[in-house]
Structure 1
Amino acid sequence: MDQYLQLCQTILANGAVKDDRTGTGTKSIFGYQMRFDLTKGFPLLTTKRTAMRLIVSELLWFLKGDTNVRTLIAENNHIWDEWAFEKWVKSENYNGPDMTDFGLRAAQDEAFQQIVDEQMTIFRERILSDDEFAKSYGDLGPVYGRQWRSWPSADGSSIDQLKNVINSLKNNPDSRRHIVTAWNPSEVDQMALPPCHTFFQFYVADNKLSCQLYQRSADVFLGVPFNIASYALLTHLIARECNLEVGEFVHTLGDAHIYSNHMDQVNEQLTREPRDLPTLTISSEKESIFELVTSDISIEGYNPHPRIKAPIAV
């Protein structure tokens, strides 16, 4: 994962200081590309522990076209909770403590962090136990899963982009149209978070499947390690579905940034030596990738450095 560490070093050395939507501030560069040969191991970051179980359950959530955090919370996956929680605390039905700018305030105030944690626990419990509450506040709008599997067309029907790409890969592998996009301009304003990983394309050569992702916005410390592993896994899954081997994952970044409150964590990570990459195992018991559950996918030989905590910018 030297490519990832080089990205961090490049931003620290050459990044422009910029304001951002969250009010946190970043160091940022524009236009950067990394390439990962998937035949040489699974690109899961080793300079800090990265939770593969969360990556797997999120990707399967996308593949099933789901957009409600209830599914993820039931699997103890909380990476989307803040955006659903924000929807609740900004609503007229919320009557708890003031949660204005809760992400920034919690990062600076341990006592307030405890209050946020208490309200988040209440929120998660209601999402799991109350169908109407989950419907109102658990749904994130037409985010990735909806666009991948049920893109709304002009005639009122929907387009399953992922199934179409799989069929295209099987029947016309040399096509240059193996594309899935999550960026739907007509629905961006309805999404809890507009897609950061916006567009991906597959390519077949020598019976190997490669994938290139364009990511418009890249949180380099927290998000990018997840994105690398998620799209590497997606490439493996689509290759399996199409009876192909894996080739490369190519990661093209637009605005690649390190948040100002992640600088110490990045510098700590840069002191660590990368370790050998793990290998990916996918159960052969399920015929289709759309039947897989989280426990069907695992990694072996993962020996990372310890986790490094950092606040998420909401």
Structure 2
Amino acid sequence: MDAYLKLCQRVIDEGVWVENTRTGKRCLTVINADFEYDVSDGTLPVLTTKKLFWKPAIAEMLGYLRGYQSAAQFRALGCNTWNANANENAAWLANHHRQGEDDMGRCYGVQGRGWRNPEGKEIDQLRKIVDHLSRGIDDRREIMTFYNPGELDRACLAACMHTHTFSLLGDRLYLTSYQRSDDLPLGHGFNQVQVGWLLMIIARITGNRPAKAFHKIVNAHVYEDQLDQLKTIQLQRTPYPLPKLKINPDIKSLSDLETWVTLDDFELEGYRHHPAIPYRFSV
């Protein structure tokens, strides 16, 4: 929480106004930020200076791991974050690659589970990683990337948190996640939960112990219609201690994640938070 609040204040103090062509709004922006989350004892990095709906954040990442391509599939999991980008993004609505209502195109988990090489063969990045880590293998290429430059025109949104690199030292698993764009008031809370959860769940299904996650951000920004609430509400609040995530012990494999796991299989113990803040979402 301290690192997050310091970054928010840094944006206010040092940020430069940048016009965002996709949203038509200005963003107060800084470049480069690094976060470190120790999840070895089950601590989940959840914002406490506002209420964070942490279950949809997990649902979204679970949908990525399943390779979902439709906003309807995410809604069925309990996540509504893709409704607007799939159905209200003017550029995507006019894109001839769009396959009807709720279609997200070839973004995020579609790339993680079915990256296409030049010959059109699909490569399951996640399955290779799980297979290697389950056997104690780290070839320094345990990388899952959602960012495919050759298919950006086939996606409703280019992946923001785009690449996840797993590293194994003995039976201790580490994760480094790279994010090109970070909406601090809205997106960041989702993303840091996802980084922590991803490390914990991959450690669980590969028989390793979760260690630390490193969350690297390139462009951190606050939209102009979010700035007043950030300064006058969220930055005035005192953080609470972080909660612990409990994972259903029956989750043991990638197949479990792909088939029967739901949000009911995760419980957050000791989550104290300030009230929610209705920040504006930009499509």
**Normalising to structure 1: TM-score of the pair?**
0.82
Q: 1:5 corresponds to which residue?
A: 5
CA gap of 1:276–1:167, structure 2 versus 1, over 3 A, is: same
Indicate conservation of the 8 Å contact 1:60/1:294, yes or no: no
Indicate conservation of the 8 Å contact 2:86/2:92, yes or no: no
Residue in structure 2 matching 1:252, options 200, 207, 216 = 216
Q: 1:23 corresponds to which residue?
A: 24
Whether 1:161 aligns to 2:125 is yes
Q: 1:303 corresponds to which residue?
A: 272
What CA distance in whole angstroms lies between the structure 2 residues aligned with 1:217 and 1:263?
17
What CA distance in whole angstroms lies between the structure 1 residues aligned with 2:134 and 2:154?
34
Could you tell me which runs of 5 or more consecutive residues in structure 2 were left unpaired when the two chains were aligned.
none
Whether 1:142 aligns to 2:142 is no
CA displacement at 1:135 relative to structure 2: 5.7
CA displacement at 1:284 relative to structure 2: 1.6
Q: 2:281 corresponds to which residue?
A: 312
Indicate conservation of the 8 Å contact 2:63/2:77, yes or no: no
Q: 1:221 corresponds to which residue?
A: 185
Q: 1:45 corresponds to which residue?
A: 47
Whether 1:280 aligns to 2:245 is yes
Q: Which residue type is aligned with residue 108 of structure 2?
A: Y
CA gap of 1:163–1:13, structure 2 versus 1, over 3 A, is: same
Could you tell me which runs of 5 or more consecutive residues in structure 1 were left unpaired when the two chains were aligned.
93-133
CA gap of 1:89–1:167, structure 2 versus 1, over 3 A, is: closer
What CA distance in whole angstroms lies between the structure 1 residues aligned with 2:90 and 2:16?
34
What CA distance in whole angstroms lies between the structure 2 residues aligned with 1:193 and 1:290?
23
What CA distance in whole angstroms lies between the structure 2 residues aligned with 1:67 and 1:52?
21
CA gap of 1:76–1:200, structure 2 versus 1, over 3 A, is: closer
Whether 1:290 aligns to 2:258 is yes
Indicate conservation of the 8 Å contact 2:36/2:213, yes or no: yes
**Normalising to structure 2: TM-score of the pair?**
0.91
What CA distance in whole angstroms lies between the structure 2 residues aligned with 1:205 and 1:256?
31
Whether 1:176 aligns to 2:124 is no
CA displacement at 1:172 relative to structure 2: 4.8
**Greater fraction helix:** 1
What CA distance in whole angstroms lies between the structure 2 residues aligned with 1:84 and 1:211?
29
1:22-73 deviation per Cα after TM superposition (whole angstroms, max 9, x unaligned): 1110111111111111135210111111101111211111111111011222
Residue in structure 2 matching 1:236, options 200, 203, 219 = 200
Q: Which residue type is aligned with residue 299 of structure 1?
A: L
Q: Which residue type is aligned with residue 142 of structure 1?
A: R
Residue in structure 1 matching 2:176, options 203, 212, 216 = 212
Indicate conservation of the 8 Å contact 1:87/1:137, yes or no: no
Q: Which residue type is aligned with residue 298 of structure 1?
A: E
What CA distance in whole angstroms lies between the structure 2 residues aligned with 1:148 and 1:236?
18
1:148-201 deviation per Cα after TM superposition (whole angstroms, max 9, x unaligned): 111112232211101111122233534211111111011011110111111111
Q: Which residue type is aligned with residue 5 of structure 1?
A: L
Measured on the aligned residues, the alpha-carbon RMSD in Å equals 1.9
- Percent identity between matched residues is 32
Q: Which residue type is aligned with residue 31 of structure 2?
A: F
Q: 1:69 corresponds to which residue?
A: 71
- Correspondences of 1:77-226 after superposition (within 5 Å): 77-86=79-88, 136-226=100-190
Indicate conservation of the 8 Å contact 2:61/2:198, yes or no: yes
CA gap of 1:91–1:162, structure 2 versus 1, over 3 A, is: closer
1:249-302 deviation per Cα after TM superposition (whole angstroms, max 9, x unaligned): 111111111111111221111111110111111112233233422211221111
| Structure 1 stretches of at least 4 aligned residues deviating more than 4 Å after TM superposition | 87-92
Indicate conservation of the 8 Å contact 1:25/1:260, yes or no: yes
Residue in structure 2 matching 1:266, options 226, 230, 243 = 230
Pair member with larger Rg = 1
Q: Which residue type is aligned with residue 305 of structure 1?
A: H
Indicate conservation of the 8 Å contact 2:3/2:35, yes or no: yes
What CA distance in whole angstroms lies between the structure 2 residues aligned with 1:174 and 1:16?
40
Q: Which residue type is aligned with residue 9 of structure 2?
A: Q
Q: Which residue type is aligned with residue 246 of structure 2?
A: T
CA displacement at 1:85 relative to structure 2: 2.0
